[in-house]
Structure 1
Amino acid sequence: MKRIKHSVIILLLFSIISGIVGCRGEQKADDKVAEKTQQTFTCPMHPQVIKHEMGTCPICAMDLVPFEKNSDDKSIKLDAQRQLLANIKTIRIGDAGNEGISNQSVLNGRLVVDPQQSNYISAKIAGRVEELFVRETGVAISKGQPLYRLYSEQLATLQQEYLMALAQQKQFAGDTPTAIGVEQKLVSSAKEKLLLYGQTEAQLQKLSKTQQKNPYVTVFATQSGTVAELSITQGQYVAEGSPIMRLEGYGKLWVEADVYPNEMKQIKQGQALKVVVNGWEDQAQTMKVDFINPSLQAGTQLTQIRGSITNPNRQWQPGLQVEVMLAPQGASGGMVLPVDAVIRDGKGQHVWIKTGKDSFEPMQVSVGKANGYSINITSGIATGDEVVVTGAYLLYSEYILKRGKHPLG
């Protein structure tokens, strides 16, 4: 009887222990599932910050972003505002300019001001600058805009001569034709001087009507441009012919590129060459070679070629560095992209394809020849794909940050 009781007690204890172990096992399994499905968030600037709820970074106060380490989705989403901040730009494969490249030469160059777009303003008459409407360089000027107001005793004297000539013309109106002709010449001469000194027809008509001299003259801009040099200050006395300011137009800029003698055989007058402004690789321009310097620069083995390009929206400034592409000698085929579009690391090479309005997906590619600007894509992308050409590295970093793994797996 005692053995039976002992057996029952042992069975009861075994059942209780098994139940406890089972419960703990189920709890651990539930905890693993909860841990797997629980959403975590991290800071884009401080990945060491990880939280299980949406909030802000305790270090920089930026909004936390989802950390999708266990997600199998290959694409990554970036809203329009963040795309703009990241300067993400794309091109569609198959558009003009995606031809294959070869071992073409790249010339280093720079943007400079086109002298034909410059306008030098000088004083037409001596006087004192009573009011200066433009007081600093870098200011954009429109044609017809007032630049400065001048007080001139010389102008008052010329106006007095013009009024006297008009009065004499009226006085001798009934005299002989010879006398009338002389008076008309005097009036025309006095009027011509005033016009040369900046007076307008409307101002001369007002002067003859009111008979009131006005020693002040306002000088207006004869063309649009940007003030590059200012040579006067308010209150200063200027002589006739003194420099006032220099206006520059940036709607068209010169491109000056350095060329070694062994590269000159690839360049001809009037030849069209591709120009890439550093930082605007997706906006390649075409220039025609307008001038080839016949001599080498002092102390170097370089000569120069020159052409011009348009400056859309005045976005480029003189002094920016450019690359000029010489015509390739036998293209290698394939599709060509800017070198910054391809991410190359230990896992291989990949580009980012835009698959939706705010969606981007990595695509492994094989590459061929490359130069300082372009790289050939031999496989991995097809005609019609929209490939990211600037901002690809940001997408690469964003993917690793959010998913915790490499885009190629």
Structure 2
Amino acid sequence: MKKTSIYIAVAAITGLLAGYLIFGIRTEEKTISTHNHAGETADQMWTCSMHPQIMQHEPGDCPLCGMDLIPAEAGADGLSPGQFKMTDNALALANIQTTVVGGQTDEVNSTISLSGKIAVNKEAVALQASYFDGRIEQLNVNYEGQKVRNGQLLATIYSPELVAAQQELLTAASLKSSQPQLYNAVKNKLKLWKLSEGQINTIETSGKVKENFPIYTTVSGTVSEVMSAEGDYVKKGQPIAKVNNLNTVWVEFDAYENQLSQISQGQKISIVSNAYPDELFQGRISFIDPVLNNSTRTVTVRATLRNSNDIFKPGMFVMGKIMTSPNLEQVATLSVPSSAVMWTGERSVVYLKVKADEPVFEMREVTVGARKGEQMEVISGLSLGEEIVTNGTFSVDATAQLKGKKSMMNKKAGKTMTGHEGHIGMQDIKEKGGIESTRDMKFPDRFQNEFQTILVSYLKLKDAFVASDSDQTAYLAKTILTELKKLNLKDLGAMEKAHLVKGMEMLEAIAKKKDLENQRAHFVIFNENIIAITSGLKFVNNAIYVQHCPMADSNKGAKWLSAEKEVRNPYFGDAMLTCGSVIDSLK
């Protein structure tokens, strides 16, 4: 019995030892294999498979969805720190197009394009005023836009002062032979009040005092403002109406600083109006504003147009083209499509395709010169024959930001992209792994005041999407884009600028597309950025509600802003008008 127990104990010890030798070694090998970080470097980044914009230096959970982070793809072999590669699918989705840089002389494309609008010729504006104190008994001009002609009855005025002057005239007339100087003095006094010789003779002949006196217009034109009403008491010289002579109008264009060297007074300018797209009008530059507008960074350039048929209405938008004189002695310059150049307010950048047979890109800072039409002169930074991105530049820049490479807003490569830097438009991501909240963004008071106008235009754009009106959405997107370009971005931070730039890219796409579904797809991304900016404002003029539809954007969900709590869905229109809910309010 004792011997049997010994055998059993020995067998058990032998089994445990064999198990350790077999499974312990395998477990150790598995552990070593599991934690083998071959290929990883000290700069290993971790990302989320669902949200690749999230990049962190160490593993953990995704701050957006909670999934485990995975190692980010290591840099492709043979690429420099500033270079990055895009997939073929990404190229196709973003419609990336490139162009080989070529040279041209100033003889080619020597046209400057300017945008502007029709304005009243202020040299032809006349104020119709009262020449004496009195009360307006009858006003013959009642509304803006009314046509008047020189000598037309403007108003009838009762003036006690004029009544007394007429009595003086009658008294002096009776003494004309004995006191001619007194008579002439009284008569001249009435003439200073713009009474004609005929009116004075009528008073003198009739021997009666006239209580109400007429006032006649001194110019022909269109009433632009009625400044008095019947029953008003007016002082001598007080305006009754403003009359514009629209036989000539001003055309005021906005010229950028880099265009001024090619513009001078007396130059011919060809003008096309949206109202008459098939007609070409000719004018000459008559004035160049000596002061630069700091908010728009433009100078007003003015031309005068004849308008005898009243075809031009103040406020109309027009386009002007100036043919510049070619400089045959100037050496050939590099010129690229203006769509290739991205401007941050401090520097200009382009993206190079560095490998002919692979989609590898790199950011390059350039110095630009004058813009001529759709071409931009490049003074330095590019060489003849290099290939640059000319369409989809914002998408390429976004990819560079995601990969932590040099980009428009990131001058140095290798910067960790988190939250808003990596994915423009995420709202209210709380701090986790270094991610900021959009409500911590800083906007100067001046910017916040100017942005209120953008919000008003945005609400109109949202309503156009609700109405499923693709033409109106394109028009309003273009309008907002113009308004955004006028904002002063000088004092904004990189994150704030990034939201605006991405929003402008989406507006540009909406304005170009007439396909409603495509417009709505871009509206999703635009809303992410506009909501992020609005959330960072200290105040808004009126309550703005953030609304969300879980079925929009292919069931991914999408947000928008509204001035009313009642949901009117811009992503589905009448098909699902009330789908969604209010998730936040900004006051």
TM-score by length of 2: 0.36
- The one of 122, 136, 155 equivalent to 1:115 is 122
Write out per-residue CA displacement over residues 36-58 of structure 1, whole angstroms, 9 at most, x where no aligned residue: xxxxxxxxxxxxxxxxxxxxxxx
- Residues in 1 aligned to 2:169 and 2:298: alpha-carbon distance in whole angstroms: 60
Residue 274 of structure 1: how far off its partner (Å): 0.9
Structure 1 match to 2:141: 134
Q: Is the 8 A contact 1:148 1:218 kept in 2?
A: yes
Structure 1 match to 2:173: 166
Residue 149 of structure 1: how far off its partner (Å): 0.6
Residue 211 of structure 1: how far off its partner (Å): 1.0
Q: CA RMSD in A?
A: 2.1
- The one of 206, 210, 216 equivalent to 2:206 is 210
Establish whether residue 229 from structure 1 lines up as the match of residue 236 from structure 2. Answer: no
Q: Which runs of no fewer than 5 residues in structure 1 stay unpaired?
A: 1-99, 173-182, 331-369, 373-409
Q: Matched residues, percent identical?
A: 29
Q: Is the 8 A contact 2:136 2:155 kept in 1?
A: yes
Q: Is the 8 A contact 1:258 1:302 kept in 2?
A: yes
- Residue type of the partner of 1:326? I
For residues 76-95 of structure 1, the aligned pairs below 5 Å read: none
- Residues in 1 aligned to 2:292 and 2:251: alpha-carbon distance in whole angstroms: 18
- The one of 191, 195, 203 equivalent to 2:191 is 195
Establish whether residue 269 from structure 1 lines up as the match of residue 276 from structure 2. Answer: no
Residue 329 of structure 1: how far off its partner (Å): 6.4
Residue 103 of structure 1: how far off its partner (Å): 6.0
- Residues in 1 aligned to 2:234 and 2:154: alpha-carbon distance in whole angstroms: 15
Structure 2 match to 1:125: 132
C-alpha change, 1:329 and 1:290, in structure 2 (3 Å) is closer
Q: Is the 8 A contact 1:266 1:327 kept in 2?
A: no
Residue 234 of structure 1: how far off its partner (Å): 1.1
Q: Is the 8 A contact 1:143 1:223 kept in 2?
A: yes
Q: Secondary structure at the match of 1:299?
A: coil
Q: Is the 8 A contact 1:199 1:217 kept in 2?
A: no
Q: Secondary structure at the match of 1:286?
A: strand
- Residues in 2 aligned to 1:152 and 1:320: alpha-carbon distance in whole angstroms: 43
Q: Which runs of no fewer than 5 residues in structure 2 stay unpaired?
A: 1-106, 327-371, 375-587
- The one of 297, 300, 306 equivalent to 2:296 is 300
Q: Secondary structure at the match of 1:314?
A: coil
- Residues in 1 aligned to 2:193 and 2:265: alpha-carbon distance in whole angstroms: 44
Q: Is the 8 A contact 1:207 1:213 kept in 2?
A: yes
For residues 306-325 of structure 1, the aligned pairs below 5 Å read: 306-325=302-321
Q: Secondary structure at the match of 1:281?
A: strand
TM-score by length of 1: 0.52
Q: Secondary structure at the match of 2:291?
A: coil
C-alpha change, 1:163 and 1:219, in structure 2 (3 Å) is same
Residue 101 of structure 1: how far off its partner (Å): 8.8
Residue 299 of structure 1: how far off its partner (Å): 2.5
- Residue type of the partner of 1:286? Q
Write out per-residue CA displacement over residues 54-81 of structure 1, whole angstroms, 9 at most, x where no aligned residue: xxxxxxxxxxxxxxxxxxxxxxxxxxxx
- Residues in 1 aligned to 2:116 and 2:280: alpha-carbon distance in whole angstroms: 14
Task: Report which structure shows greater RCO (CA 8 Å, sep ≥6).
Answer: 1
- Residue type of the partner of 2:235? A
Aligned length in residues: 223
Residue 371 of structure 1: how far off its partner (Å): 6.4
Q: Is the 8 A contact 2:135 2:159 kept in 1?
A: yes
Establish whether residue 144 from structure 1 lines up as the match of residue 143 from structure 2. Answer: no
- Residues in 2 aligned to 1:264 and 1:371: alpha-carbon distance in whole angstroms: 14
- Residues in 2 aligned to 1:265 and 1:207: alpha-carbon distance in whole angstroms: 64
- Residues in 2 aligned to 1:300 and 1:210: alpha-carbon distance in whole angstroms: 65
Q: Is the 8 A contact 1:227 1:246 kept in 2?
A: yes
Q: Is the 8 A contact 2:135 2:158 kept in 1?
A: yes
Write out per-residue CA displacement over residues 98-137 of structure 1, whole angstroms, 9 at most, x where no aligned residue: xx99462310111111112111011101111111112111
C-alpha change, 1:190 and 1:329, in structure 2 (3 Å) is closer
C-alpha change, 1:312 and 1:207, in structure 2 (3 Å) is closer
Establish whether residue 282 from structure 1 lines up as the match of residue 278 from structure 2. Answer: yes
Q: Secondary structure at the match of 1:235?
A: coil
For residues 320-339 of structure 1, the aligned pairs below 5 Å read: 320-327=316-323
Residue 247 of structure 1: how far off its partner (Å): 0.2
Q: Is the 8 A contact 1:163 1:208 kept in 2?
A: yes
Residue 258 of structure 1: how far off its partner (Å): 0.8
- Residue type of the partner of 2:166? Q
For residues 332-347 of structure 1, the aligned pairs below 5 Å read: none
- Residues in 1 aligned to 2:215 and 2:108: alpha-carbon distance in whole angstroms: 54
Write out per-residue CA displacement over residues 180-230 of structure 1, whole angstroms, 9 at most, x where no aligned residue: xxx222111111111121311111111111111102111111111111111
- Residue type of the partner of 1:322? V
- Residues in 2 aligned to 1:124 and 1:329: alpha-carbon distance in whole angstroms: 53
- Residue type of the partner of 1:105? I
Q: Is the 8 A contact 1:132 1:148 kept in 2?
A: yes
- Residues in 2 aligned to 1:120 and 1:245: alpha-carbon distance in whole angstroms: 6
- Residue type of the partner of 2:120? V
- Residues in 2 aligned to 1:314 and 1:256: alpha-carbon distance in whole angstroms: 18
Q: Secondary structure at the match of 1:162?
A: helix
* Deviation beyond 6 Å, 4+ runs, structure 1: none
Q: Is the 8 A contact 1:230 1:244 kept in 2?
A: yes
Q: Is the 8 A contact 1:269 1:290 kept in 2?
A: yes
- Residue type of the partner of 2:309? N
- Residues in 2 aligned to 1:236 and 1:125: alpha-carbon distance in whole angstroms: 13
Residue 139 of structure 1: how far off its partner (Å): 0.5
- Residues in 1 aligned to 2:260 and 2:183: alpha-carbon distance in whole angstroms: 62
Structure 2 match to 1:238: 234
- Residues in 1 aligned to 2:315 and 2:193: alpha-carbon distance in whole angstroms: 37
- Residues in 2 aligned to 1:269 and 1:283: alpha-carbon distance in whole angstroms: 24
- Residues in 2 aligned to 1:101 and 1:145: alpha-carbon distance in whole angstroms: 55
- Residue type of the partner of 1:135? N
Q: Is the 8 A contact 2:175 2:183 kept in 1?
A: no
- Residue type of the partner of 1:193? K
- Residues in 2 aligned to 1:224 and 1:209: alpha-carbon distance in whole angstroms: 32
